[in-house]
Structure 1
Amino acid sequence: MKKITIALMLILSGSVFSQVSVGAPIQQNNKWTFGGGIGLGFGSNSAFYLQASPRVGYRLTDDLEAGVIGSVSWQTSKYYSSTMFGAGPFANYYFARSFYVGANLQHYFIDYKDKFYDYKDHREETALYLGGGYMQRIGGNSFMQIGVMYNVLWKENSSVFSSGLVPNIGFVVGL
């Protein structure tokens, strides 16, 4: 079921972004970029996960972009629920218009509720993600980004995240 859901979301998001003037000449007169990613997941014990991470950037040069990224996620199951908001700056360096390396600093605000023990918690955590990946042109100046980031501030016993490694798929328009 998870594989079908992930494949369906990729196809839907690809079709939405493919509407951006496929085959049109690349316009480099606007330096603003827009994009982000979405996530959706299902699991055992009635688990449901929804995440969105919009981003706005500015091309400082043809190969260097900096901006602000946000994230919001909701998770719920039979036993717990959580809401997480995050925001912070990012920078990406692009080479050969097919690859990128980047850094992303996020500060998260997390509200957690354990339904079984009736326990509530509010935490904050900062993450510094470093990584990179591959870019695939999907039309005009629009790209799909597939990559991996690692949170270099992640600590196994004190983080709300289960791992420091984060695979990602996103879209950006304006490169």
Structure 2
Amino acid sequence: MKCNFLGIILLTGLFFTMTTTTQAQEITTKPKSEFWSKVRFGGGLGLNFGRNNTNITVAPSALYQPNQYVAFGPGLNYTYQKFGDFKTTLVGASAIVISNPLDFLQLSGEFEQLRVFQSVSGLPDIPNSWNTALFLGAGYRLNVGGNSLGAIGIRYNVLFDDNDSVYADAWQPFVRVYF
């Protein structure tokens, strides 16, 4: 009788173990990540040609938008400028945070770090340098393709220095579109 009782306990234990394992496998099924559905791509492209001058900018970026009010992400920047004999190449990265507190308003903060390469034909090389900018901006939100991450506005470089900047002015207009 002890043998039958022990056998029943072992079979019962085995049954509960198998049932619990099956239920645990059903419960631990991972949901699909929604990360990529919240990522937006965009950036800027600038072309300017004139008499004896050229300015080309390519600035792709990406944003992660966890909700309708905030988005943030990295960006890259490449700019080539030529004015007569003077050439400048800028290569760098940025980080941006965008806030949409109202339906029509977009606020932004953008930190940018650029490596500056400059030269003038016929003169000794100009030492390479770094340019740092911190832009605070405000713009009117645009609805592009059902996406409200577009904006047109103005931004201000709070770190601007007339004697040490690759930008002509601290104030800069912007057009921003992310898809």
Identify the TM-score tier after normalising by the shorter chain.
0.7 to 0.9
Q: Which runs of 5+ in 1 are unaligned?
A: 1-28
C-alpha contact (below 8 Å) 2:141/2:148 kept by paired residues: no
Structure with more of its chain in strand, by fraction: 1
What is the identity, as a one-letter code, of the residue corresponding to 2:145? G
- Rg comparison, structure with higher value: 2
C-alpha contact (below 8 Å) 1:86/1:108 kept by paired residues: yes
User: Are residue 56 (structure 1) and residue 55 (structure 2) matched?
Assistant: no
- Greater relative CO (CA pairs within 8 A, separation 6+): 1
Deviations 1:77-111 (A, max 9, x none): 32111110121211000134432000000111010
- CA shift at 1:139, angstroms? 1.6
- State how far apart, in whole Å, the 2-side matches of 1:163 and 1:148 are: 12
C-alpha contact (below 8 Å) 1:145/1:172 kept by paired residues: no
Partner of 2:106: 100
Q: Once superposed, what is the RMSD of the aligned Cα atoms?
A: 1.8
Q: What TM-score do the two structures reach when normalised by structure 1?
A: 0.75
What is the identity, as a one-letter code, of the residue corresponding to 1:51? T
Match 1:71 to one of 67, 72, 77? 77
Q: What TM-score do the two structures reach when normalised by structure 2?
A: 0.73
- State how far apart, in whole Å, the 1-side matches of 2:66 and 2:150 are: 20
Q: Which runs of 5+ in 2 are unaligned?
A: 1-35
Partner of 2:67, secondary structure, is coil
Partner of 1:9: none
Structure with more of its chain in helix, by fraction: 2
Partner of 1:115: 121
**Equivalent residues in 2 for 1:159-174 (5 A)?**
159-173=165-179
- CA shift at 1:65, angstroms? 0.6
Identity level (%): 26
